[in-house]
Each structure stands twice: as C-alpha cells, then as structure tokens.
C-alpha cells in the first residue's frame, strides 16, 4: 500500500476518528486545530500535531499544506471557519479537499467553493441505522446519490447453493453484485456468473434504492 499524506483540520469527534484511523492504517497524518488541548490529546496517535489558525493562508503555507495528498476539513461548530478554511486551501491549490458539512446548505456552499467531496456524518449514519432497522439483513449502507446506493446484505436462505446465473439478480431486482464476502472473510471481487452463494455469505450490491429495498425484503 502506498503511504499517503493527510492533513486533518479540526479535531472534534469526527476529525479525531478519521485522523487516528488513517494513522493506524500506516499513513502520515498531520492534525491542525486552534485548541492546544485537543492537539495534546491526540498527538501520540498521529504523525504530527500543530496549533494553528486554519483560516490563515500564511500559517497553512508554513505547514506545507499544498504538499498533502488529501486535506480533510472537519471543523464542526464554526461554519464560518469551515467555509473560510476550505476557500483558503482551495485557492492555495490543495490537490483534494474533503469537507465535513453540518447541514445540506453548508454542504452546498462547500461544494460551490471547491471541496471535492462533502461528508455529512450525522445524516449518513442516520441513513445507515434506519436501513438496518428496516431490513435486518442489511449490514452496511453507502448512499452514492439520492437514488443509488451500495449495500452489504446477508445472503437470504433462498439464495444459498445457487449461482449468480441462477439467481439473475440483475434481471429480477435490477441490482448488480460487486463482490461476495465469505464466512472466511475472503472477498470475491467481480464474481463470475457460475460462482455460488454459500451460507453466511455477504453480498455487496449496487443499484437503485427502491430496487435494493425489494431485494433486502
């Protein structure tokens, strides 16, 4: 795996979680926050930590922010600082910007000023939990757009010992199987038509939300 350089600006619950996970995965992670206590609390679990004003171009330039592969703006409460920080690093020429949004309007503004990807942690988690409660065989749920999603579901009993050709999920439900994860945790990416579903398999499928719901029932 190629080691990448990430900068995480704003060390709240979301920012801390992202930063430490990336570090645990072996990447270089710089965390930036205006609160010294937050930096001290996380410094042993990341590569570098700096107390700085993220709305200051001079401060960010001194940190070499444009050299990072990805910059994650995870400022939570201060929407103005979130927007200004995103605008500043965009104008500085940062390669790829991921920004956390508190509301849909906040997200639209971040997108307008150049964020490459918008994250809505609370909304996305709410969607996952709701889908899991409605369809108990849904393990995970990733919304690609308002109409399309990727879900990981437990293979129903009536699929066990049948091949993908026999099941013909694309014709019956309008979904595509991207991968199959077996009980042994091995993942079969782009499974062939003759591959059989086994008891305990997890199917990773993509399709329209309505059609996925039909499948999960």
Tell me the pLDDT of the chain averaged across its residues: 87
Strands 175-181 and 187-189: antiparallel
Rounded to whole angstroms, the Cα distance separating 92 from 113 reads 13
59-86: pLDDT as tens digits: 999 999 999 999 999 997 899 999 999 9
Q: How far is CA 41 from the centre of its chain?
A: 24
106 in Cβ contact with 117 (< 8 Å)? no
Angle made by CA atoms 5, 97, 38, in degrees to the nearest 5: 65
Q: How many residues in total does the chain contain?
A: 217
Q: Give the range among 1-5, 53-57, 85-89, 177-181 with minimum mean pLDDT.
A: 1-5
Cβ neighbours of residue 145 closer than 8 Å, sequence gap 6 or more: none
Predicted confidence (pLDDT) per residue in 11-38, tens digit: 998 899 999 989 998 999 999 999 999 9
Its pTM stands at 0.65
Under DSSP, the state recorded for 144 is: S
153 sits in which H/E element: strand 148-154
Cα(35)–Cα(21) distance, integer angstroms: 21
């Amino acid at each position: 795996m190629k080691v990448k350089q990430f900068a995480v600006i704003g060390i709240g619950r979301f920012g801390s979680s992202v930063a430490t996970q990336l570090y645990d995965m072996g990447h270089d992670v710089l965390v930036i926050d205006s609160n010294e206590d937050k930096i001290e609390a996380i410094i042993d679990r990341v590569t570098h930590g700096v107390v700085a004003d993220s709305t200051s171009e001079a401060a960010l330039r001194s940190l070499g922010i444009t050299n990072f592969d990805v910059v994650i703006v995870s400022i939570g409460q201060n929407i103005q600082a979130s927007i200004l920080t995103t605008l500043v690093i965009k104008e500085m020429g940062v390669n790829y910007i991921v920004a956390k949004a508190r509301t849909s309007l906040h997200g639209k503004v971040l997108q307008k000023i150049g964020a490459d990807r918008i994250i809505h942690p609370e909304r996305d988690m709410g969607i996952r939990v709701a889908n899991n409660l409605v369809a108990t065989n849904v393990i995970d749920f990733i919304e690609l757009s308002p109409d399309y999603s990727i879900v990981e579901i437990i293979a129903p009993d009536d699929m066990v010992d049948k091949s993908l050709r026999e099941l013909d999920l694309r014709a019956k439900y309008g979904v595509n199987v991207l991968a199959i994860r077996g009980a042994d945790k091995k993942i079969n990416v782009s499974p062939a038509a003759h591959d059989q579903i086994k008891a305990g398999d997890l199917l990773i499928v993509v399709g329209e939300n309505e059609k996925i719901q039909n499948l999960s029932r």
